[in-house]
Structure 1
Amino acid sequence: MPVTFNHTIIPAKNRDESARFFRTLFEISETPSWGPFTNIQLDEGVLLQFAELPGVDQIPMHHYAFLVDDDLFDRAYSRLQAGGIEHWADPQLTRPGETNTEHGGRGVYFTDPAGHAIEMITKPYL
């Protein structure tokens, strides 16, 4: 069997709020959840499990990049703008309110409700 990515746990301040943010942004259907996790499932079966970390006041920032098609990028970017979500064209956060055209596609950087750095791109880097 080839190696594929199956799931990861994403630390959240509020697991339901974080999962809802991604479901709304990326138009993802409800996914069954259990135990301490609120889940969303991406294409290819990849499961993102949002969990609150007991006793942790400050969540360390992680970086997550999502590859989407041009149509979803347009809709998701419109939702970012309509929601007043601060965003940048670059990971150094020097180009606010813009998108980029790196690697033959488009991209944008923003943060999720837990403060994680999120990247949305339309073309893979390799």
Structure 2
Amino acid sequence: MTVTLNHTIVPAHDKAAAASWFADVFALPREQSDDHFAPVFVNDALTFLFADADRFSAAHYAFHVSEPEFDAILARVRASGRPFGSAPWSRTDGSLNDWNGGKGVYFETPDGHLMELMTVPQ
């Protein structure tokens, strides 16, 4: 049996705004929000379901992407005005890392979730 993560719920202060920001930065399709969720389709197997929440702990989401995708996403992060950094403990140093022989970067969403991009999986 193959186990595949199908969806995860991402808490946000404003689900529609959070879903729009994420979809724009990652250049991903969105569906219309319903009463409970604002979905963003990450790939054929995974959907992020953004949900309104008053209080929540920030989470870490890591994405393996191609070099062209990395460059395009990072350009949109820069255009959004969000700081980025080379490590979880250096989220705002404006640098990239080269761990495992690829490129990597970390940045926070407006709701404080930590996003990680890497061109070589760990």
Q: Same fold, TM exceeding 0.5?
A: yes
- What residue is the counterpart of 2:66 in the other structure? 69
Q: Give the length in aligned residue pairs.
A: 122
Question: Does 1:59 pair with 2:56?
Answer: yes
Kindly indicate whether the alpha-carbon contact (under 8 Å) linking 2:83 and 2:91 is maintained by their aligned counterparts in 1. no
The residue matched to 1:8 in structure 2 has which SS? Answer: strand
How far residue 33 of structure 1 moved from its aligned partner, in angstroms, is: 3.6
- What residue is the counterpart of 1:30 in the other structure? 30
How far residue 72 of structure 1 moved from its aligned partner, in angstroms, is: 1.1
Question: Does 1:81 pair with 2:78?
Answer: yes
The residue matched to 1:43 in structure 2 has which SS? Answer: coil
Runs of 4+, deviation exceeding 3 Å: none
Kindly indicate whether the alpha-carbon contact (under 8 Å) linking 1:13 and 1:113 is maintained by their aligned counterparts in 2. no
**Structure 2: which amino acid aligns with 1:46?**
L
Deviations 1:17-66 (A, max 9, x none): 1111111111112224433100011113201100012xx3x321111111
2-structure distance, mates of 1:117, 1:9: 15
| TM-score (norm. length: structure 1) | 0.88
Question: Does 1:115 pair with 2:112?
Answer: yes
Deviations 1:54-108 (A, max 9, x none): xx3x321111111211111111111112222111101111760011111121111
**Structure 2: which amino acid aligns with 1:86?**
P
2-structure distance, mates of 1:41, 1:94: 26
2-structure distance, mates of 1:41, 1:79: 18
Question: Does 1:124 pair with 2:98?
Answer: no
For structure 1, the 5+ residue unaligned runs are: none
| TM-score (norm. length: structure 2) | 0.91
